[in-house]
Structure 1
Amino acid sequence: MTERPGPPTTEARLAAVRHAVTAVERAEGELQRAVDEARAAADPEEEILAALAVRDAAVRSGVVELLDALGPASVAALAGARTKEHAVDWATPRGSLPGPDAARRLRAAHQAWGRIARVQGEEAARAWILRPNPELGGDSPLVAIKRDRVRDLTPAVDALLCG
Structure 2
Amino acid sequence: MDTDEVTRSRCEAITAGAAAGIAGVGDPALGRKWAAGGALTPAQPGQQRLHFACGLMNEIDTSQDQDTARTWILCSNPRLGYDSSVKEIREDRFREAARRRL
The question of a shared fold, defined as TM-score above 0.5 by the shorter chain, is answered with: yes
2:82 aligns with 138
Correspondent of 1:105 among 49, 56, 60: 49
Instruction: Report the AA paired with residue 15 of structure 2.
Output: G
| Number of aligned residue pairs | 102
CA drift of 1:128 comes to: 1.0
Correspondent of 1:82 among 17, 23, 26: 26
Written as runs of structure 1 = structure 2, the 5 A alignment for 1:19-98 is 58-98=2-42
Please say which structure displays the higher CA radius of gyration: 1
CA drift of 1:89 comes to: 1.7
What RMSD over aligned residues (CA atoms) do the two structures have, in Å?
A: 1.5
Query: The residue matched to 2:99 in structure 1 has which SS?
Result: helix
8 Å CA contact 1:89–1:95 kept in 2: the answer is no
Q: Which has the higher contact order (CA 8 A, sep 6+)?
A: 2
For structure 2, list consecutive stretches of 5 or more residues without a partner in the other structure. Answer: none
1:18 aligns with none
CA drift of 1:136 comes to: 2.1
| Higher mean C-alpha displacement, 83-92 vs 123-132 | 83-92
Query: The residue matched to 1:94 in structure 2 has which SS?
Result: coil
| Distance (whole Å) between structure 2 residues aligned to residue 108 and residue 58 of structure 1 | 13
| Distance (whole Å) between structure 1 residues aligned to residue 86 and residue 37 of structure 2 | 25
Correspondent of 1:129 among 45, 70, 73: 73
CA drift of 1:112 comes to: 0.9
For normalisation by structure 2, the TM-score amounts to 0.88
For normalisation by structure 1, the TM-score amounts to 0.58
CA drift of 1:90 comes to: 1.7
Query: The residue matched to 1:115 in structure 2 has which SS?
Result: helix
1:36 aligns with none
| Distance (whole Å) between structure 2 residues aligned to residue 133 and residue 82 of structure 1 | 22
